[in-house]
Amino acid sequence: MLYLIGLGLSYKSDITVRGLEAVRNCQRVYLEHYTSILMAASLEELEEYYGKPIILADRELVETGSDDILRDAKKEDVAFLVVGDPFGATTHTDLVLRAKKSGIPVEVVHNASVMNAVGSCGLQLYTFGQTISMVFFTENWRPDSWYDKIMENRKIGLHTLVLLDIKVKEQSIENMARGRLIYEPPRYMSISQCCEQLLEIEETRGTKAYTPATPAVAISRLGSAAQSFKAGTIEELSQYDSGEPLHSLVILGRQCHDLEVEYLLEFADNKEKFRQDVIADQEFFKPAPWTPPVETDD
């Protein structure tokens, strides 16, 4: 059996009881270690809590070495641990499909992820549209395909969850080209860098999917004891020191309910300004008033 087990967002004890029982019954335990991190637990603490040694599964192992993960899974239990939920922000359908093609039974144990915990900022989950990922820009690579998704969300009034890039066990282009297994230090995108990249692409595109004055909410260390929120415009948040990772951002949609705004005011430095920013932003993509069709003589 292959178990895909969600670990939750922060603590070693965030794992569900069913997930913990499964881990303790498995012969091998892998921890997916490139899409997110468990903020309040080290590898050693997890091993002690589970009573099992843990194999770190980096991108290379998961994407090209899945046969090793699935080895002997027909006759023994293997756990694949994922921070958050196995099918939350990052899905692992490829691993599941490979297991099923090999006749290996699969069981999924779900848990909290950023996709549902984001509701703790006060915005209603039903009013979220497509989620996007913001990657680190480089000198020669500044992808902006996500821009169109923000535009689509904003046109129908929905909020956009922006997941910020992390780099764990990544190689530089030079080391990769030379075949040197030297890895860069881990990097985690900040709220300010995300907002700077948003503003850069809007300036380049110029079609106002959002503007510097568009309201947003910064979410830091979601699910941990140090969880925090900051409401402001994209321009204001581009100057915001969001502290230790992990971070995400929500760009507000035009249809922002009064209760959502009331909740967000708790996180704004200038409450009245933020309220007025939301009111002004609701004019963007506002549908034209309905007028009855003009009757014509046939």
Residue 298 has pLDDT above 80, yes or no: no
pLDDT in the model for residue 172: 55
Q: What is the pLDDT of residue 225?
A: 94
Are 236 and 263 found together in one domain? yes
pLDDT confidence of residue 58: 83
Please give the Cα distance from 89 to 111 (Å, whole number).
12
Whether 274 is covered by a domain: the verdict is yes
pLDDT of residue 163: 97
Strand partners, 161: 250
Residue 175 has pLDDT above 60, yes or no: no
pLDDT in tens, 138-163: 999 999 999 999 999 999 999 999 99
Distance of CA 80 to the CA centre of its chain: 19
Q: Is residue 94 part of a domain?
A: yes
Strand partners, 113: none
Mean pLDDT of 173-182: 59
Residues 216 and 265 in one domain: yes
Mean pLDDT of the chain: 92
- Report pLDDT for 174: 62
Same domain, 44 and 182: no
Band (pLDDT 50/70/90 cuts) for residue 101 is: very high
Same domain, 135 and 251: yes
* Residue 60's CATH number: 3.40.1010.10
Assess whether pLDDT exceeds 70 at residue 286.
yes
Residue 83 lies in a domain: yes
Cβ contacts of 239 within 8 Å, gap of 6 or more: 192
pLDDT for res 173 = 58
Per-residue pLDDT at 21 exceeds 90: yes
pLDDT value, residue 181: 57
How much of the chain, in percent, has pLDDT values that exceed 70?
94
Kindly report the CATH number assigned to the domain that includes residue 220. Answer: 3.30.950.10
**Domain range enclosing 58:** 2-112
pLDDT mean over 184-190 = 86
The average pLDDT across 263-284 equals 96
Burial letters 34-69, b for 16+ CB under 10 A, else e = bbbbbbbbeeeebeebbebebbebeeebbeeebeeb
Number of domains in the chain: 2
Are 19 and 6 in contact by the 8 Å Cβ rule? The answer is: yes
The annotated binding site for S-adenosyl-L-methionine is made up of 9, 85, 88, 113-114, 164, 222, 247
Instruction: Identify whether residues 67 and 161 lie together within a single domain.
Output: no
End-to-end CA distance of the chain: 71
Residue 216: per-residue pLDDT: 98
Residue 176 has pLDDT above 60, yes or no: no
294, part of any domain: no
**Whether residues 181 and 270 fall in one domain:** yes
Work out the pLDDT band at 233, boundaries 50, 70, 90: very high
Pick out the residues of the known binding site.
9, 85, 88, 113-114, 164, 222, 247
- At 167 the pLDDT is 86
